[in-house]
């Protein structure tokens, strides 16, 4: 059973890349996911550099008030962004694993 439906014209273009079009499209999709994962990792690294700490340490310091008022706009914004980045990273890793199991 095919995972995706590929238009005939696109199938013909992709067929030149390798074995079958479905496998090649899945490989391309997987490579795209890896690019997005690297971008996510770079944003996480930017937060680690900004605060000089890991996400877990940041959350602990935020909760204890060590970083200041946890409800101040800049801290709250960064906390939400960092939390979203960590969730995005987990999701991308899970999807990449699932895709690679199908290759």
Annotate 29-41 with DSSP letters as a single string. Answer: HHHHHHHHHHHHH
Distances (CA, A) of 92 to 62, 68, 74, 86: 26, 32, 27, 10
Q: What is the pTM of this model?
A: 0.81
Confidence of residue 3 (pLDDT cuts 50, 70, 90): low
| Count of the separate structural domains present in the chain | 1
For residue 1, pLDDT beyond 50: no
Instruction: Give the closest residue to 83 by CA, choosing from 65, 67, 59, 66.
Output: 59
Q: Where in the sequence is the domain holding 43, given as residue range(s)?
A: 8-102
Residues with Cβ within 8 Å of residue 1, at least 6 apart in sequence = none
Q: Which helix (H) or strand (E) holds 24?
A: helix 21-51
Residue 2 lies in a domain: no
Is residue 48 situated within a structural domain? yes
The answer to whether residue 100 scores a pLDDT higher than 60 is yes
Q: What is the mean pLDDT of residues 44-52?
A: 98
């Amino acid at each position: 059973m095919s995972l995706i439906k590929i238009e005939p014209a696109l199938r013909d273009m992709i067929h030149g890349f390798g074995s079958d079009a479905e496998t090649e499209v899945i490989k391309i999709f997987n490579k795209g996911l890896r690019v997005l994962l690297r971008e996510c990792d770079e944003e996480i690294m930017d937060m680690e550099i900004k605060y000089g700490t890991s996400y877990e340490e940041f959350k602990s310091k935020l909760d204890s008030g060590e970083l200041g008022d946890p409800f101040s706009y800049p801290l709250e914004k960064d906390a939400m962004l960092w939390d979203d980045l960590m969730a995005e990273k987990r999701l991308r890793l899970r999807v990449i694993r699932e895709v690679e199991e199908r290759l």
